Amino acid sequence: MAKKVALLQGNEVCAHAAVYAGAQFFGGYPITPSTEVAEVLSVELPKVGGKFIQMEDEIAAMASVIGASLTGAKSITATSGPGVSLKQELIGYACIAEIPCVIVNVMRGGPSTGMPTGPGQSDVQQARWGTHGDHAAIALAPSSCQEIFSETVRAFNLAEKYRMPVQVLYDEIVGHMRERIEFPEPGELEVIDRAKPTVAPEQYKPYDTSFGDVPPLAAFGSEYRFHVTGLNKAQDGFPTTKAELVDDEQRRQIRKVENETARADIEKNEEYLTEDAEIIVFAYGSIARSARYAVNELRKEGIKAGLFRPITLWPFPEKRVAALAKQAKAIVVAEMNLGQMVHEVERVSKGACTIAGVFRVDGEPINPGQIMDKVKEVR
């Protein structure tokens, strides 16, 4: 049987992917250029018994998502940079309380209101360090409409599996472009649900590490009753100031994402013509499309260029980038900001090769010619 196909915007695809992943709740507030995610989910969620609510602002929207997730519902919100800025305190709450949810950020220019209708990639460090305190972070960056579908589903899976907020970052270009989409059949893409407690209700502790670094999560409204707080807490969920418990909790929450097994599960990259590449172009999101074209043109001119595209931005693909830095003469980082991920590339390269950047913040995408010019400059 032929698969269902459609010509859809990236934002529309994101909404359909959320339903495929089992989303049951959306709480949001309209903001350019992400509003279509909310519009489609307002129609599609009720069809599957889910709930949609437009809150009075982005802060309330994030609070509603946290509350819905605690009842056991897979929950999502969609916004842009200014909205994520408003959500940060509650994103931090979701981090420390270990509440799974998906946050879609359709990136535009900034800071503040910036350029609402133009693309940008200036929120990538915000996704890692936007909320205060030490915390783990998972952020994914699809570069096509089809990939928005698979990565949105994967974002839900990672949120449920690692019991934490996961951000999906794509820019206005990918959000508003239209491409042919093949809808996967039910069961074709893996869909993961959170681990539920198996102990008796009176024995349940929401942060019981005897089950590992990711404790099972019961649902509010079920037979399990438990305490949730934004404070450091003991395994029973109640606040603590005991130094050893606070230290153990902080380290565990980072370890559950940063350990080698988790990294192997979470990290996802695409490499194109990197095997013999002397110049590596590092690009993500829509700019990776320009970079791939540039690499092909450079190869025609006899320049051994290759593309490294991180699909998982956080955790940062440290080992692979470090290995490419030892292989290459230079890495050219192309991004629609004034230099953010380039600093991560520099950090893990440790001086092994030249690092150069192609940056643009005028609301226009980086074109292949700009990347080609920089490659020729550093080769």
d(CA 251, CA 255): 6
Q: How high does pLDDT run on average in the chain?
A: 97
Residue 138 token pair: 């998972």
pLDDT digits (tens, 9 = 90+) for 149-195: 999 999 999 999 999 999 999 999 999 999 999 999 999 999 999 99
d(CA 34, CA 349): 35
Domains, the chain, ordered by start: 5-182 (3.40.50.970), 201-264 (no CATH), 269-378 (3.40.50.920)
Which DSSP string do the residues of 19-47 spell out, in sequence order?
HHTT--EEEE---TTTHHHHHHHHHHHHH
Is the predicted pLDDT of residue 325 greater than 70, yes or no?
yes
pLDDT band at residue 1 under the 50/70/90 scheme: low
| Alpha carbon of residue 260 to chain centroid | 19
- Quick one: CA dihedral 324, 171, 258, 187, positive or negative? negative
Residues 6+ apart with CB under 8 A from 302: none
Is the predicted pLDDT of residue 257 greater than 90, yes or no?
yes
pLDDT digits (tens, 9 = 90+) for 333-343: 999 999 999 99
Is the predicted pLDDT of residue 377 greater than 70, yes or no?
yes
pLDDT digits (tens, 9 = 90+) for 50-73: 999 999 999 999 999 999 999 999
The proportion of the chain whose per-residue pLDDT surpasses 70, expressed as a percent, equals 100
